[in-house]
Amino acid sequence: MLFIFYFGFILGFSKSSYNHNIIAILKNFITQLFPIIGLEFTREIIIDRNKENKPLTLYITILLILLEMNFYTITNFLANREEMFEYICSTIIPLIACNILYTYLTLKCTYIVTLIYRIFNTIVILLLPIIPNFDWFAMGSLSLLSAIVIYLLFKYKLIKENTSVKKKRKDYYAKLSYTVTLILSIFLICFMLGIFKYEPISILSNSMEPKFSACDVVIIKKLSESELKEIPIGTIIAYTVNKQNIIHRVVDKVKVDDIVFYQTKGDNNNSPDANLVQTEQIQGIYKMHIKYIGFPSVWLYYFFNSERMN
């Protein structure tokens, strides 16, 4: 939880949607904590009596996932592909991962461990007046990562407890693999969230051919406020227009009343872009690109926007 709130200092905080007067807090506790206790007590009773019955364990996990899903919200998003995809990534996938974790903890320990974990997380969210200002990708990624971290920590603990002298070498490599997996997962998510100085952006068009093409991924470097005003002509910059990323080359620079504007143009375009770019729009400058790995992002973009284009 501390790790998740740490990202709030980078991505910003927003006001909690929960009311914090005493009556509202008590109501939220009753409506959210009681169902959690009931779900985990049910999981414990069924799994504890049928630990060797793997199909039943899987069935009860799926059933509990379905019980926690908000089908009213799902039906509201069915008409919009993009909203449905975001809801699946930010809510459904983490819900599935967390319930698999809860079943694992119940099998290996007791439902009390799962209850402590779930109740603590819920109380923090209900009581704090601010929450990290995450978009759908950050919310889904960090929720999924939290479940993976807890799983790896318990797996590591169990390996450590069951280690014999003969198995020490084998278990050393197992522990190392868990550590490397965790570190790489955290690094990858932070990189994709744009937390580091360098950030990846998928290319949607061929406007910069032959430098790079659609389905490539460009790595950009973020600049300070002073650097944004001193970008040389010929530099390739990434900037946003109506929430859409554009990566074009600077062909001219205009300064009006100490405000810097850049004229940009795609190398493969016949004319410069219609509007000048302000420093506030610039995300960073081009450093390198990787061929083809942006294909999934491009496919998803055109899949979600096909209806609007038609």
Structural domains of the chain sorted by starting position, each given as residue range(s) with its CATH number in brackets: 2-192 (no CATH), 198-309 (2.10.109.10)
In whole angstroms, what is the distance from residue 160 CA to residue 170 CA? Answer: 12
- Give the whole-number percent of the chain exceeding pLDDT 70: 91
Q: 284 or 81: whose pLDDT is higher? A: 284
Summarised one tens digit per residue, pLDDT across range 9-37 is: 777 788 888 888 899 989 999 999 999 99
- Give the whole-number percent of the chain exceeding pLDDT 90: 22
pLDDT (mean) for 270-295 = 88
**What pLDDT score does 238 carry?**
92
Sequence-distant (≥ 6) Cβ neighbours of residue 16 within 8 angstroms: 125, 128, 129, 130, 131
Q: Where are the alpha helices (DSSP H) in the chain?
A: 2-6, 8-11, 22-49, 54-68, 71-77, 81-87, 93-108, 111-127, 136-161, 168-192, 225-228, 295-309
**What pLDDT score does 97 carry?**
92
- Asked if pLDDT for residue 163 goes beyond 70, the answer is no
- Asked if pLDDT for residue 273 goes beyond 80, the answer is yes
- Asked if pLDDT for residue 174 goes beyond 70, the answer is no
Instruction: Report yes or no: 263 and 252 within 8 Å, Cβ to Cβ.
Output: yes
In whole angstroms, what is the distance from residue 108 CA to residue 111 CA? Answer: 9
Mean pLDDT of the chain: 83
Region at 257 (left for phi over 0; alpha for psi -120 to 50; beta for the rest): left
Q: 267 or 77: whose pLDDT is higher? A: 267
- Say whether 247 sits in a helix, a strand or coil: strand
- Asked if pLDDT for residue 2 goes beyond 90, the answer is no
| Residues pairing with 13 in the sheet | 132
- Give 238: exposed, middle or buried? Use CB within 10 Å, 0-12, 13-18, 19+: buried
Q: What is the signed CA dihedral for 275, 296, 217, 271, rounded to 10 degrees?
A: -30
pLDDT (mean) for 103-131 = 88
Whether the bond between 210 and the residue before it is cis, its omega within 30 degrees of 0, is yes
Q: 97 or 157: whose pLDDT is higher? A: 97
- Asked if pLDDT for residue 296 goes beyond 60, the answer is yes
pTM surpassing 0.85? no
